[in-house]
Structure 1
Amino acid sequence: MSKHQEVAAAVKELVKRALPVAKVIGMDLDEAKPTSIGELGQAIVRSGDAGEPEIDLSPPTWWWERTFPIELAARNEPSRSAQEVLAEMAMKVGVEISSDPYLGGLCVWLDATAPTDGEVDERGAAPIAWCDFGIVASYSTTSPLG
């Protein structure tokens, strides 16, 4: 497994740990936005684009700053709006990032971008609120293919 794949898998696992009751999908064949979500919310982790690395020549090292797009979905709950549920879900991911900003040694730093405001999507009987943000992983490889 390449370092790129290891980091991507670790980011998805981080989101699963942060949101243990939500369905977490993505980076598989199921990357399309779903038409329905479970009652306990959903997260989609996308692979994003690694972009162009910075390169050190001695020793050859490629420095990547890859943003993994994260989409969160939630429904209204009896005591909270879907936007409040989304904010809590995003904060839980932030807490998980803060607890291990090195992603188990795979990254030199892990951070997140600010989330968008939850937009409401009227699908079926109950509205679904969506927000998105990015998890930014900074890491290095010894090969551009690594």
Structure 2
Amino acid sequence: MPISRETILTALHARLSTLPATALRGEVLPERVPTDGLLILRDGEPGKPEVTLSPLRYHYQHRAEIEAVVQGIDRDAAFDTLTASIGATIAADRTLGGLCDWVEAEAPRPVDLPVEGTASLKAAVIPVVLHYSTADPLA
């Protein structure tokens, strides 16, 4: 069975779902951030592939994004713990069970977002580069 982008993104979401934070995929930011934090996986862009011809293969460096959000008094420590757990989860299996050639997260750029009437949010987009090959660019 050919490997598809959807299969790879589903596998990445499944890995993120093992973390204590709530992991969503393609959802809008909810009104309340769970105590353990929130992760939203965005499909991102597959980009333009490199092509080899014998056999025909399309080699992608797909850039997905994880939005990581924490809230509360100790949000700096919570954010650090959350991002470290994302890194550890990705490092534990950089091929997503053989679906990818390599998976690598890039450093986040955290920002504090004030919320009226409650504790501020600390959030960042964490780019994740998925290196994979497929025989069909529409797969």
> CA 1:49–1:123 in structure 2 vs 1: closer, same or farther (change >3 Å)?
farther
Q: Which runs of 5+ in 2 are unaligned?
A: none
Q: Does 1:46 align with 2:46?
A: no
Counterpart for residue 134 of structure 2:
141
Shift, 1:126, TM fit = 2.2
Aligned-partner residue type, residue 102 of structure 2:
W
The answer (yes or no) to whether the contact 1:35–1:123 under 8 Å persists in 2 is: no
Percent identity over paired residues: 27
Task: Give the 4+ runs in structure 1 shifted more than 4 A.
Answer: none
State how far apart, in whole Å, the 2-side matches of 1:143 and 1:128 are: 41
Q: C-alpha separation between the residues in 2 aligned to 1:63 and 1:119?
A: 37
Residues 1:66 and 2:62 aligned together: yes
Q: Cα RMSD over matched residues? A: 1.6
Equivalent pairs counted in the alignment come to: 138
Aligned to 1:9: 10
Q: CA deviation at 1:42?
A: 0.7
Matches within 5 A, 1:1-146: 3-17=4-18, 19=19, 21-27=20-26, 31-77=27-73, 81-146=74-139
Q: Is the 8 A contact 1:26 1:45 kept in 2?
A: yes
Shift of 1:34: 2.4
Gaps of 5+ in 1: none
User: TM-score scaled to structure 1, two decimals?
Assistant: 0.87
